Amino acid sequence: MQQPQGSDTLFAQHWNIYQQIIAHNYMQHQALSALVNPWHSNAFGHTVISLLDIGAGDARIIARQKPRGLLCHYTGIDVSAEAIQLAEKHLQEANIPATLHCQDFMTLLPQLTNTFHVVYASFALHHVSNDDKRKVLQEICRLLQPKGQFVWIDVFAREHQSREHYLEAYQQRMQQWTALDATALQLLTHHVVRFDFPCSINEAMRWSREAGLTCTSAHMADDVHGILVLQKP
């Protein structure tokens, strides 16, 4: 999960909360990330691939689920120094060559000149405005190699759902996360209210088309958490 500028919650001071969310699959991390490997394999077979991870976090999922095609190089971006340190450890243990950037992805993406077979963003883009989402999609299309794929895992609002209604519904959902205590839920509520700006999945697909990407697969694990796989011509 990408940690926005100014956020002092999930990674830096409350890493344990985020680990509980993943462990209990409250945000469908396991279900959604399990769908990634087959797409890598189908797109690139056993060829060597390069991957850009936007909002890399600790890179644990990528390190665990190394694509069937040999991952020749991993580039990760996250604003949390603590997360980047953990990512370095996990990638080294998985023997994956990596370049890690402790920086805001909105600032870094326009500066990148390398191209990638796969761009991956897990629970990162809902932290930026819709205008910035469009900008990110344009940058992703620029950074992808021909036939390259963008794997977008995120929270998505319902069609025509206002942000206020989304926030109300998501806070109600979090009340079912019984492994978290009241303090953790309060911190999460603060984080969601300040930093969640989800779009609908139809908006995501429309903006992707406008950026030059074609949706090859879409899957919702529940009514909020989903994945899009998009391809550059």
Question: How much is the pLDDT for 168?
Answer: 98
- Residue 125 within a domain: yes
**Looking at the domain assignment, is residue 22 inside a domain?**
no
- Provide the CATH number for the domain around residue 125: 3.40.50.150
Residue with token string 């519904």? 169
Residues of the chain falling short of pLDDT 70: 1-13, 37-47, 66-69
pLDDT of residue 68: 54
Model confidence pLDDT, tens digit, residues 206-221: 999 999 999 999 999 9
Same domain, 133 and 184: no
The pair of three-digit structure tokens given for residue 147, joined into one six-digit string: 């036939």
Q: Please indicate, yes or no, whether residues 86 and 173 belong to a single structural domain of this protein.
A: no
**146 and 90: one domain?**
yes
Residue 9 belongs to a domain: no
Same domain (yes/no): 122, 152: yes
Q: What is the model's pTM?
A: 0.90
User: Does a structural domain hold residue 174?
Assistant: yes
In a domain, 123, yes or no: yes
What is the largest distance, in Å, between two alpha-carbon atoms of the chain?
48
Range of the structural domain that residue 86 is part of: 27-94+105-156+198-221
Q: How far apart are alpha carbons 220 and 233 in whole angstroms? A: 24
For residues 180 and 147, state if they share a domain: no
Cα-only R_g, the chain: 17
Phi, psi of 159 (to 5 degrees): -60, 130
Judge whether 61 lies within some domain.
Answer: yes
Contacts of 12 (CB under 8 A, 6+ apart): 3, 80, 81, 82
**DSSP string of 56-92, one letter each residue:** -TT-HHHHHT--SS-EEEEEEEES-HHHHHHHHHHHH
One domain for residues 90 and 31: yes
Residue 66 inside a domain? The answer is yes
Strands 116-122 and 144-155: parallel
- Could you tell me if residue 10 is inside a domain? no
Q: Find out whether 151 and 229 touch, Cβ atoms under 8 Å.
A: yes
In this prediction, residue 43 carries a pLDDT of 60
Q: What is the predicted pLDDT for the residue at 44?
A: 61
Instruction: Give the separation between CA 127 and CA 137, rounded to whole angstroms.
Output: 14
Verify that 88 and 179 share a domain, yes or no: no
> How do residues 189-209 score in pLDDT, each as one tens digit?
999 999 999 999 999 999 999
Nearest residue to 200 via CA among 223, 184, 217 = 223
Q: How many structural domains compose the chain?
A: 2
